[in-house]
Amino acid sequence: MLIYLLLLAAACLALLIRAMLRPRLFYEYPYLMAATFTAFILPQAYAAYRSEWGGWYLDAALIMSTACLGACWFGYLPKAHPALLEKFNVKIDPARFFHGGVLLVAIGYYFTYKFGTLEEEELTTTLTGIGTIYLFFGALVYPGFAICFYCALNGQGPFTWIVTGIAAWVPLQAAIFYGRREPTVLFLLSLAMILYFLKGKRLPRVLILGAVVGAMFAIPATGEYRRSSAEDPIEAFRQLDFADQFNQYFNEDAPSEFKNAVTVIAVTTAQGDYEWGVGYWNRLIFRFVPAQFVGETFKNSLMIGKPRDYGDYVELATGFRLPAGSTVTGIGDSFNQFGLFGCLVFAGMAYIFKNLWVAANQPGGTVAQILYIQVSTTGMRALTHQTIDFLPGFIYSAIFIGLVALYAKE
C-alpha cells in the first residue's frame, strides 16, 4: 500500500520540481494538473492510507490516481496536429474582439441578476428548470472578463479598463462572498495567463510553491468559510483555523472526496457494471438539450438509460450514502466508465490542451489563448469533480468564444 502512495507522491513531486526549475511550464496542462493532484488528491490519499481506509480498494484508487497523472504527461507528448493549429489561427480585429467581450459580460450580468431573483426555495434545493438556463448564460461573464482584460492590457484605451473592472465584480463576488473555488481559480488564472501571453510575465518560483501549499490548506477550509462569508467575509476569514481544517482529513471517520473515489471504485469492481462511456453522452444531453423547450420526455429519449447518480449507486450497493455536496473525483468516475483504462480520458484531455497551448503561442493565437484560459479550470475540475464535465465545459467555451472570434475575424 505504501509503495503506491509513494509512487503518486513521486509523480507529483517530479512534475512540480520541473515546473519550479522552468516556471513557464507551470502554465501547461501536465504541470497544472500536478499542482491540482498535489493540493487536492495527495493529502486526502495520505489520510486514507494512515487510517487504512478502504483496504485493497485503496490500493486500486492509488494506482488509478498515479495512472491518471501519468496519462496527463504522456498524452501531452505527441506533437500538435497541423490542421487543428490552422483552425485556431484566427486573425482578429481588436476593436471588434472587445465588442464581443462586452456583449458576453452584458449577457452574463443579466442572467446572473435573473438567477438572483429566483425564489429562495429554488436555490436551496436541487436546481432544475429555468435556473439552469440562467446559470448557463450567466457564466459568460468569465470569458467576457478575460477578453476585456486582454484588450485592456493590450493598450486599447481606458474604457476597456472600466469594463474590465465591471466584469471582475462577478468572479470577485463569487470568491469573497460565496467562497466558490472554480470562479476564484478561473479569475486568477485569467490574470496570470494573460500577463504571460501578452507581456511574458511569469510567476515567481516562490509564488508557485506558495500557491500549491496555500491551496492544500485552503481547500478543506472553504466549507467552513462559506457558512458565514455572505454576511461578513472579513470576519469569516479571521475565524478560519486552516491547520485545524486540514487536520480534519486525518480523522478516521471524516468524509473526503478521495474516500468517495475509493468507494465508487470498490462498488464498480465488485459489480462489474462499467458504463463504457455512456456517462459522457448523457452529460452532453443533460447540459445542451433544454427540457424547458423540447420537453422532458424527448430529452430523456436521447439519453442511453438513466444517468447514473453516484449517491444512489453507492447507497444501493453498500447502504452508505456519499456526503451531500461532495464529489467522486475524476479518479472515481473515469474508473466507473472504463476501469483502469479510464486514465486514458486524462491522456485525451492532455492532447487537446497540447494543441491549444501550441496554437496559443503562435502568431494569431489570441482566440486560442482565451479558450486555453477558460478550459484550464475545466480540466482541473475534471479531476476534482468528474471527467464527464470536461467535454460539455470545453464545448461551451468553444461555442461562445468561437462566436466572438467569428464576429471579430479580419
Confidence of residue 364 (pLDDT cuts 50, 70, 90): confident
Q: Which of 7-16, 71-80, 243-252, 362-371 is least confident? A: 243-252
What is the pLDDT, as a whole number, of residue 120?
65
What is the CB neighbour count within 10 angstroms for residue 366?
24
Q: What CA–CA distance (Å, rounded) separates 115 from 110? A: 9
Residue linked to cell 510575465: 201
Average pLDDT over residues 20-32: 94
Per-residue model confidence (pLDDT) at position 250: 83
% of the chain residues with pLDDT over 90: 71
Mean pLDDT, range 258-275, rounded to an integer? 95
pLDDT of residue 131: 83
Sign of the Cα torsion 396, 352, 97, 86 reads: negative
Burial of 255 per CB tally in 10 Å (0-12, 13-18, 19+): middle
As a whole number of angstroms, the distance between CA 79 and CA 75 comes to: 10
Place 123 in a pLDDT band, splitting at 50, 70 and 90: low
Please answer whether residues 75 and 69 qualify as being in contact, where contact means their C-beta atoms are separated by less than 8 angstroms: no
DSSP assignment of 7-45: HHHHHHHHHHHHHHHSGGGGGSHHHHHHHHIIIIIHHHH
Average pLDDT of span 33-62:
94
Strand, helix or coil for residue 409: strand
pLDDT over threshold 60, residue 116: yes
User: What is the chain's mean pLDDT, rounded?
Assistant: 92
- Contact status, residue 67 vs residue 343, Cβ threshold 8 Å: yes
Output the pLDDT for position 128. 64
Question: Which three cell numbers mark 243?
Answer: 491547520
Q: What is the pLDDT of residues 311-334, one digit of tens each?
A: 999 999 988 889 887 899 999 999
For the chain, what are the domain ranges?
A: 1-213+256-410
Where is mean pLDDT largest: 124-128, 216-220, 233-237?
Answer: 216-220
Question: How high is the pLDDT of residue 32?
Answer: 96
Q: Residue 127 — very low, low, confident or very high, per pLDDT cuts 50/70/90?
A: low
Rounded Cα–Cα distance for residues 240 and 127 (Å) = 29
* Arithmetic mean of pLDDT, 46-64: 93
Residue 148 has pLDDT above 90, yes or no: yes
Average pLDDT over residues 55-68: 96
Q: Write down the pLDDT at residue 65.
A: 98
Q: What one-character-per-residue DSSP string does 199-225 give?
A: H-----HHHHHHHHHHHHHHGGGHHHH
DSSP-assigned beta bridge partners for residue 409: 92
Number of H helices, E strands in the chain: 24, 0
Cα R_g (the chain), whole angstroms: 21
* 209: amino acid identity, one letter: L
285 pLDDT exceeds 90?
yes
Q: Report the pLDDT value the prediction gives residue 110, as an integer from 0 to 100.
A: 96
Q: What is the C-alpha separation between 354 and 371, in angstroms, rounded?
A: 13
